Structure 1
Amino acid sequence: MAMEPVKIQGTKEGLVIVLEEELDIEALKERIVDRIEKSLSFFEGATLNVRVKNPKFKEEEIEELRDYIMKKYGVKIFIKKFQEKHIKNVTDDEIFNGLEEGITKFHKGTVRSGQVVRYHGNLVIIGDVNPGGLIQAAGNIVVMGTLRGIAHAGFTGNKEAFIVASSLKAMQLRIANIISRAPDKEEEVEYPEIAVVKKNKIIVRPLYHLGDLW
């Protein structure tokens, strides 16, 4: 069954149109206009979020389209790109930049020794990462448990990525191409910690004392 090229969803952001195709600006305009005109009363006075696949539009093109839709239909639109939810066809040289927002995978359960969890986006582990377990993300990594294995954030080269764990006891931390072992602690800590890159080195700090990190 062919994938519907235009889908409409109701979300907390309001009305969302999802376009599953890669389109040029004229084709994008045609799809949006067609969808609005099919349900004018439905869209009247709405704020419309349009998610498109890998757009390469110029800002002036986007502004012209926004103005056109607003003047003709009274609909305010925001256009945002989205990435594939599944990454089986994504290669390592494709850069993910969505560190503050973007696609996120939630892995439920313990990552055991020998297991690899890899995602081309942000990665949240709801559980522990045992010694010998490997977690990799093109974006940030958050472990809602104890991180004892290896964590590699920003694997496409993004040094702005970070690693957070409720209990950080990692065998090894990596951010982009920078590698560090978690520091030995004289006593157990009972608070979450965050690892970031500063001056080309990975540093680990308590999560609740971030003033010197950002």
Structure 2
Amino acid sequence: MASYRIRQYQDKDFDTVRTLFARGMLEHCPAWYRHILRSARVQLQLLVLFVLVRAASGFWLLGLGAVALALVAIWLLVRAYSTAYVRQALSTDLADVRGTYLRSPHSCFWVAEAGGAVVGMVAVEPPEDPAERAVALELKRMSVSREHRGWGISGALCGEVLRFARTRGFGAVVLSTSVVQVAAQRLYENQGFRRVGPASSSLLTSLLCFQIFRYRCDLPGPAAAPPR
């Protein structure tokens, strides 16, 4: 059986968790790109582009070239959006992990360690929605290195968050994940989360067929009101 342990974040983990998060997020770019290209709307738009350029120029090759340029542009947009998201995280909460997650009784940050190396991470804090803050905590920054997936680390990290929330009197844990993170969706559903509310997206992500799903896990049994 694979051996690992989960412990609270330490300052020595700073560079590793930032790298782990960045790699984990950017590796979803190919899946997002494929998701876009499978969209019937995008396929129709590419076909229309080909027909228009072919009709205007009279050359099949120019039509194909226009489609190829569009495919490159879509990839660059996907990569740019993902990189911007990573940079935002690295310049906000992950720029001061201790200050963000370890100075409040209702937040925490854990890492999974195997062979002396940090191979996984997860955080929890009060959600931004004021209506949820009184009853729920939010799971954030879940990531496990590609080489250590299948060890049960993600489930163990998720379980740590659920126990943390329960012992502090909260009745639920919420989280957000993207449409292309299918493995993450399965993990959360196996842990008792259910999808709630409509998928959300911005104008840009709507154009790129990208949606964010909101999940919620109601914790069993009566929960005391969390302290203020």
TM-score bucket (shorter structure)? under 0.3
TM-score (norm 2): 0.22
TM-score normalised per structure 1: 0.23
Q: Which has the higher contact order (CA 8 A, sep 6+)?
A: 2
Higher relative helix content? 2
